[in-house]
Chains A and B, each alone.
Chain A
Amino acid sequence: EVQLQESGPGLVKPSQSLSLTCSVTGYSITSNYWGWIRKFPGNKMEWVGYINYSDNTSYNPSLKSRISITRDTSKNQFFLQLNSVTTEDTATYYCARLAGYWYFDFWGPGTMVTVSS
């Protein structure tokens, strides 16, 4: 079965960069689309962006100037980098596989990131 696992620092200082890794097992990231979603305190969920099998990316316009999603196919991992973070980037970050008509069928357990000095 497809399994995803997020990893990265739980605390980031304002103005620094947030870097997360999603490790995938049971399926190759050279197929399908792979995305990041975040859930803010208060439960609002936001799609962050995705990378696909051809290494093409798409980002939420609200983040477009600060975000980069890349991958390492040899390790079956993909990555999120979010620059110039503020306290408003405090959230639980999930990685997930996209399927069909753009739904997320497999999710990682999520990693909580707090932006604070």
Chain B
Amino acid sequence: EIVLTQSPTTMTASPGEKVTLTCRASSSVSYMHWYQQRSGTSPKLWIYETSKLASGVPNRFSVSGSGTSYSLTINSMETEDAATYYCQQGSSYPLTFGSGTKLEIK
């Protein structure tokens, strides 16, 4: 099973700040996917196949990485970006998720 480790676990950012979240895999994966989950709602596909923004995702979000290390970057933090972000790999079974990074607004 591929274990995904996300860091940090929790972080706080000010409006306008650049934010980087990291997801590291225990083995190489071909693609990484990301989900945003706001409190009380279901996860929403945010970024798929490593770098493609899902419908409606603002372009201040970007992802880079390959192999075992991936990063999600928000160029300029906004209030609506406060949420928990999960990475997920589909390269091998079982499909696995990271433990999440909770991003709060300062």
Contacts and interface: CB of A to CB of B under 8 A. Distances in A.
Contact of A100 (B41, B49, B93, B99): B49
A105 B100 contact: no
B43 A94 contact: yes
Interface in A42-62: 43-47, 58, 60-62
Given A47-B95, A58-B93, A103 B42 contact: no
Interface residues of A, number: 23
B9 to A, nearest CB: 10
B42 A109 contact: yes
Q: How large is the interface on B (under 10, 10 to 19, 20 to 34, 35 or more residues)?
A: 20 to 34
A61 B30 CA distance: 22
The 6 A-B pairs with the shortest beta carbon distances in the complex, nearest first, are A102-B90, A45-B97, A103-B33, A47-B95, A107-B42, A60-B94
Interface of A: 37, 43-47, 58, 60-62, 94, 99-110
Interface of B: 1, 30-31, 33, 35, 41-45, 48-49, 54, 84, 86, 88, 90-91, 93-97, 99-100
